[in-house]
Every structure is written in structure tokens, then in C-alpha cells.
Chains A and B, each alone.
Chain A
Amino acid sequence: MPKIPGLVKGLGVTFKEMTKTVFPNEGVKKLKPNPSKGAVTVQYPHEKEAPATRARGVIALLEENCTVCMLCARSCPDWCIYIEGHKQKAPPRRPGGKERTVSALDRFDIDYALCMYCGICVEVCPFDALFWSPEYEYSEPRIAELLHDKSRLGEWMDAVPEYEPYEAGSEVKVKKLPKKGAK
């Protein structure tokens, strides 16, 4: 059997890909052309792909957990988090006790034009106030609108998914999302 020249085999590869794209159906409907299904293209915005659960799309803020410790603003490689807060008096925990001073958040802005989506701020927060969400459709025609203030960051909390279970052999415990208004 003479060797098929490589040129012809190459044609076979592209031809096979073409038929796989145009006729992707199996079984009875084999010869019905359906390129929308066979091609790998996802026709955005008519169809959308769901990103992974851990995908780093946008950062959400749970304001009641934040104690204005400034750890996230300090650890950001781009210094894109702007925090302002003030101390105020709060009623004592038990009646007859001492008055407490708590920090209250005035301003918490994340500038998504600078953000590198590294996640260091989410990781270092000791009070579980920042969370990742896979939302990605927040592009704006003006750059100034990419500075999300604390109310907009609070709205992103609705898009934060639950944590996934781990693979077999892992010794890490699955974290739980704090419920809003629990504090």
C-alpha cells in the first residue's frame, strides 16, 4: 500500500473538522446540518457561557462586617481601594457596661480601572467582609463610572455564589457565606 502523501492527509484533517462542525448530530439525525451546535463559538450576547464558581469577576463588600482595619487597602498592589472611616460611640453590649467605640465606614471605593483582580484584598480581610463574584458584565462607556462605591459593592453580594465542596483527599473545610444581617 503506497504511503499517502502528508499533503493529502492534511486536507483530510481540515475536511473532517468541517464535517464535524456542520454535522455534529449523532444517531438518527446524523445528516441534519447544525453548525451553531457544532462550532465552538458561543454567540454572545444571545448565548452566554457560565463562568466557573471561583472565577474572579468582581469584588463584593459586606459592609456590616467591615471594621475599617485598612488591611485590604494596604495590601493592594495597585492601591486601588479608597477607605475613609470615623470612630463613633456605640451603646454598651450589656446594660450598665462601658460605652464602646466602633469604627464606622464612610467611604469604601474600589477603582476597577486599576484593579488587577489578584484577590489579595479578599484573602487578607480578617473579618470576611470581601467576597469574589463571577459577574463580569459591568463595563462602562466612561472610565469614571468604573469606581464602584460602597452601595454598588454591596449590591454585588447578591451575585456571590456559595463555596464549592472540595476534591477527595483534601483536608480543607468548606467555608460558609455569612448571612446578611446576621451581625
Chain B
Amino acid sequence: MTFAIELAYWQQSILRVIGVLAAVLIPAGTFVYVFLFKMVSFMQSRLGPMEAGPYGSMQLFAEVGKFIQKEDIVPDAADKGLFKLAPYLIVASVLLTYFVVPFGPDAVFANLDVGIFFALAVSSISVIGILIAGWASANKYSLLGGLRAAGQLIAYELPLLLAVVGVVIQAGTMNLQGIVAAQADGSVFGWSGIGNPYFLTQFIGLFIFLVAAQAELTQTPFDMPIAESELVAGYMTEYSGVRFLLFFIAEFASAGAFAALAATLFLGGWYFPGLDATANYMNVVGPLILLAKIMLIGGLIFFIRFTYPRFREDQLQRFAWTILIPLSLLNIFVTAILKVVF
């Protein structure tokens, strides 16, 4: 981050820590309140939490307080070190994903040239965390959930990557800040009024990315690893208290992370047509615009989560390997040809 005023390194570090916590917790918290508490309640003709604060807005803090004061239970037969390690791995993976997401022209934690590659790579670390949680719980249901998760998450990494390759080809760079700039400065058939948001040309890529993201987040219809009515809570069954809170935060923060990536890659990121892309005030307005786009995509993710039943594991795998991957390869093929031709 570049600053107009000179701060000492330790002051910059504190700001960075606060910034990353805000960047992770604000989308997670907003997702939980708006979608999990309110949107799903309205879809089911009920009101959701209403007592804690006006319209239940403080419910989130009440839940955090409740989880913090719970007893620390570790099953007797569990592998204690691994059991305690698993939530931290998943949270670490989610936090790392937020590093490369640009929130404004200068507001990015690490402007890496391999931005999107880095983001997808560290989001795969959560697979290890889930497997460890499933194995170390000494519970057959957790084991089933963990093994299902391993198969599913590895299968859906590929469509996720291949969907992004189309965008990278079109933008010419893996740097996320550069992708936003390419969308901002681009033109549709010569008209550059709204730039060139990639959902217009890469709509197949967007579809594949959203489906694969839904699977990566283990949300219904791909929530076999959790499968509430079969496995109780899948790999999370034996976790309670703060560890469960970490899983919970990680689930919603990673939903925010994937929504942020989708917004950056396909919807134009922090840029909105008509605004100056290099002004300093965009460092304040940009995050708000990105938050709005994150809410849009997050809304879609949760809308589908609460409406559909879930796939069985083999149907899930068949869908990934026989439909999504060939479709994404076709997308790359067509994009590459069109990029060369035009």
C-alpha cells in the first residue's frame, strides 16, 4: 500500500492487520446477516432473528459471544494436534485469498503479478484443512464427510481454473489490478461507454466459475461433505465453541472471497463506468462498489443454496468431469481463437 503521509513500518503493519480483518470480516458478517438471517427467512415466510438489536442486527455479535463462552471439547479418541490445527488452516487459506483482491486503484494488500494464480492456489489449502478435520475427529460421519469433500473439492478445482483462463487470455495479464484496468478501458464493439466487463463475452466462463465456486464452498446443491440430513454436520460434527466459530467465519468469508474474485474477474471489480479510474477518492468509493457487487453475487450463491436439493456424490463428480471441464476447455479454445482473430 502506498500512503500520502509517511508512516513507520510498525504503524503500516497495524493498519494492514486492521485492514485485512475488516476486508474479511465485513463481507462475512454482511453475508451472514443479510443472506443467512434475513433473505432465507423471507424466502421461508418467516422473520429470522428480531430480538437482538433492531431487526436482529446485533444477532451476529450475540452468536460470536455465545460461541466464545462455550466449553472446549476435544473427543477422547481424536488426534488432538490435528484436530486443533484444522480450523486454523482453513481460516489462513481464506485470509490469504483476500490479499490479492484489489479494492481500489491503490487499495490492494499485495499487487502480485501472478494475482489470480496465487488466489486460486491458496484457496486450495482449505481442502487439506477439511481432510484433516474429517480424519482427526475420530467419528465415522466426519470421516465420510471429509473423504467426500476431498473428492469433490479436487474435482471442482479444475473447472474453476479453466474458467479463469479465458479471462486471463482476454485481459492478457494475471495481475488482478491489470484485469480491472483492462475491463475499465476496454470497449464493446467500439463503444467504450461501460468499458468491457467480461461477463458479456465470457458468460460461459462466468457460469462455470459460479458453479465451481458453489462446489468449492460446499454449498447446496454440492454440499455432500456437510449433508445436514445425513452426516449431521459432516467434517464439522465434532467441533464446538470457538473452533466451530472459525469454521463458520471461514465458510462465509470464503463465500465473500469467491464472490470478490468473480466480481473482479467478470464484473469489473472496483470500477464503475463514469468514474475516474485513477483518482484518489476511488480508494474510498472503490471498496463500496466492490461490496455491492459482492453482495449481488453472494445473493445468487445463497439463493441457489436454499432452493435446491443436493446432488449425490457420484452425480456431482460426473457433472464436473463430463460436463464442466469439456465446456471450460471449449471456452478457452473459442476465446483464444477470437483473441487472435480480433
Contact = CB atoms under 8 A, between A and B. Distances in A.
B47 A35 contact: yes
A67 interface: no
Contacts, number: 42
Mostly helix, strand, loop or mixed at chain A's interface?
helix
Nearest to B45: A40
- A interface, size bucket: 10 to 19
Nearest to B55: A35
A41 B45 CA distance: 8
B43 A10 contact: no
Nearest to B51: A43
B42 interface: yes
A79 interface: no
Interface stretch (A15-23, A160-168, A171-179): A15-23
B39 interface: yes
B303 A11 contact: yes
Contact of A43 (B45, B47, B306): B47
B44 A17 contact: yes
A10 B308 contact: yes
B302 to A, nearest CB: 11
B41 interface: yes
A7 interface: yes
Interface string A1-15: 000000100110111
Interface in A31-45: 35-36, 38-41, 43
Contacts of A15: 43, 303
Contacts of B47: 35-36, 39, 41, 43
B232 interface: no
30 contacts: A7-B308, A11-B303, A11-B307, A14-B43, A14-B303, A14-B307, A15-B303, A17-B42, A17-B43, A17-B44, A18-B42, A20-B45, A21-B42, A21-B45, A22-B42, A35-B42, A35-B47, A38-B42, A38-B45, A39-B41, A39-B42, A39-B45, A39-B46, A39-B47, A40-B45, A40-B46, A41-B45, A41-B46, A41-B47, A43-B50
Mostly helix, strand, loop or mixed at chain B's interface?
loop
Contacts of B44: 17
A18 B39 contact: yes
A39 B41 CA distance: 9
B258 to A, nearest CB: 20
A14 B308 CA distance: 10
Interface of A: 7, 10-11, 13-15, 17-18, 20-22, 35-36, 38-41, 43
B15 interface: no
Contacts of B85: none
A7 B207 CA distance: 15
A35 B40 CA distance: 13
A18 B44 CA distance: 7
B303 A17 contact: no
A36 B44 CA distance: 13
Interface string B26-51: 00000000000001011111110010
